[in-house]
Amino acid sequence: MQNRLVVENINFSYGKNKVLDNISFTAENGIIALLGNNGAGKTTLMNVLTGLKPAKHGKARLNDLDLLNTKEYPLHKVGYLPQNFNIYNNITGLDFLSYVYDLKNIKKSNKKTYIQEIVEKFHLGSVINQRVGKYSGGYKRRLGSSWSTSPYHNR
């Protein structure tokens, strides 16, 4: 699927500290890097684009969807794996994926198939029934990226 994220004149301030000053860019399919010094505002921008922080001005459109003014944020279309990715250690990877899909309002009838596909695609089969607390750092990130980058959300 061809995707297009158009960001226009995003502004964000913490009190008087203006952190995002008219940020505009367009991103299409592929790997896009957002580079900046520590404190440049990368995390703040990601929080705005994922609906975690409200922008005062500006627009962000994902394909034909207005990301900043939707009544309900389109959780099923957007994934985000932050640097510090903490999950419940006492549940299995399978329970975790199931929980994530519930949060994303994925239809129950599709859930099992999506999870199976993801487990296969991300080679999680050997650990998926183990407690997440036992995962190595690499497997934890793999579990996190499996759902946050999944194309299945668009179905």
Ligand X SMILES: Nc1ncnc2c1ncn2[C@@H]1O[C@H](COP(=O)(O)OP(=O)(O)O)[C@@H](O)[C@H]1O
Judged by the rule CB under 6 A, the positions of this chain that interact with ligand X are 14, 17, 19, 36, 38-44
d(CA 152, CA 49): 20
Task: Name the binder of 51 from Mg ion, ligand X, none, CB < 5-8 A by kind.
Answer: none
Please report, for the chain, how many H helices and E strands are present, in that order. Answer: 4, 4
CB of 50 to Mg ion, least distance (A): 13
Please identify which residue in 43, 130, 145, 148 interacts with Mg ion, judged by CB under 5 A: 43
Of the pair 67, 132, the CB lying nearest ligand X is at 67
Element holding 21 (H helix, E strand): strand 17-28
Residue 44, binding choice from ligand X, Mg ion, none, Cβ under 5 to 8 Å by partner class? ligand X
Pick one of Mg ion, ligand X, none as the site partner of residue 151 (Cβ within 5 to 8 A by kind): none
Give dist(CA 79, CA 97) in Å, integer.
13
Answer yes or no: are the C-beta atoms of 18 and 68 closer than 8 Å: no
CA-wise closest residue to 107 among 51, 152, 50 = 152
Least distance in angstroms from the C-beta of 26 to Mg ion: 22
Q: Is 50 in the site for Mg ion (CB under 5 A)?
A: no
92 scored as a contact of Mg ion (CB under 5 A): no
